[in-house]
Amino acid sequence: MLKFCIVVFLVGAWQLLSGQNNSTDIQIIQDPRVDTLLQLHKDLNIKSPRIDGWRVNIFFETGNNSKKLAMEAKAGFVQKYPNIPSYLVFQEPYYKIRVGDYRTQLEAEKFLTIISAEYPNAFVVEDKINYPELDIRYK
């Protein structure tokens, strides 16, 4: 009986191993519309290179001198925080200065706590942000 089990096991193993093809060629069959959708997605990202995110609004003003005051506020911020991007935004009737490109509200609020002493009226807002820089390092 033991000999019969061993023979059956060996024959089964041989069939299993001989049935495998050692070819590394893989053929992918897909609907051609997938390529069309992928290209459409790429084109949309090129046209609108922004994603949903958060920024900190440090200034907003309306009136005759509001643009000049906004530019001064932006220049002062850039001088203090040169590594944080800043943006002049006009949403009628306000000129606004928004800073940062944060993926989460928590990141934006963390930066808000850092600058809250200098900008006590600052607050976090949802906005379209630029894609974050990729940190690619080759080792």
- Identify the pLDDT of residue 73: 95
Residues in the chain predicted with pLDDT less than 50, given as ranges, are none
Domains of the chain by range and CATH? Answer: 51-130 (3.30.70.1070)
- Identify the pLDDT of residue 69: 95
- Identify the pLDDT of residue 93: 92
CA distance 13 to 17: 6
- Identify the pLDDT of residue 75: 96
- Identify the pLDDT of residue 2: 75
Instruction: Give the model confidence (pLDDT) of 73-99 as tens digits.
Output: 999 999 999 999 999 999 999 999 999
The model scores a pTM over 0.95: no
- Identify the pLDDT of residue 43: 85
- Identify the pLDDT of residue 55: 96
